[in-house]
């Protein structure tokens, strides 16, 4: 079992910044592809960002077009934590944000069905 716990959500004005954290249990964190997804009321869960497992110096990342250039995903394997730095926030970024772990993908994954474990979510609200 892997437990994922998100934190760092809250209320922020448009144009502001927020940093989300996802803490994972266990000692195999470095072997998982990690991802961030979000879900607004009445909408399907959508891909936000993903980061590859880090076996060496190369780390691969991918972002949804709507957040590219504004959001940054990173990981600290020593702390079993993945982060999502969100800058230049917009009201349309308002959603519950979920952290997820993928045991099988080769590099990165934007498909929610590839993820094996999910956190409980943290609310992000951006006011205009």
CA–CA gap between residue 41 and residue 94 (Å, rounded) = 9
What average pLDDT does the segment 74-87 reach? 94
pLDDT at 16 over 90: yes
Which range is least confidently modeled, 15-24, 88-97, 102-111, 118-127? 102-111
SS3 39: strand
- Burial class (CB within 10 angstroms; exposed 0-12, middle 13-18, buried 19+) of 114: middle
pLDDT at 18 over 80: yes
pLDDT at 88 over 90: yes
**Mean pLDDT of the chain, nearest integer:** 95
């Amino acid at each position: 079992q892997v437990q994922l716990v998100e934190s760092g959500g809250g209320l922020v004005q448009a144009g502001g910044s927020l940093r989300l954290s996802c803490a994972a249990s266990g000692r195999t964190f470095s072997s998982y592809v990690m991802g961030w997804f979000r879900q607004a009321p009445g909408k399907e869960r959508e891909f936000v960002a993903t980061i590859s497992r880090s076996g060496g110096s190369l780390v691969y990342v991918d972002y949804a077009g709507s957040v590219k250039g504004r959001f940054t995903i990173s990981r600290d394997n020593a702390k079993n934590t993945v982060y999502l730095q969100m800058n230049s926030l917009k009201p349309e970024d308002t959603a519950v944000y979920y952290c997820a772990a993928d045991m099988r993908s080769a590099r990165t994954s934007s498909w929610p069905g590839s993820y094996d474990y999910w956190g409980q979510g943290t609310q992000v609200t951006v006011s205009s």
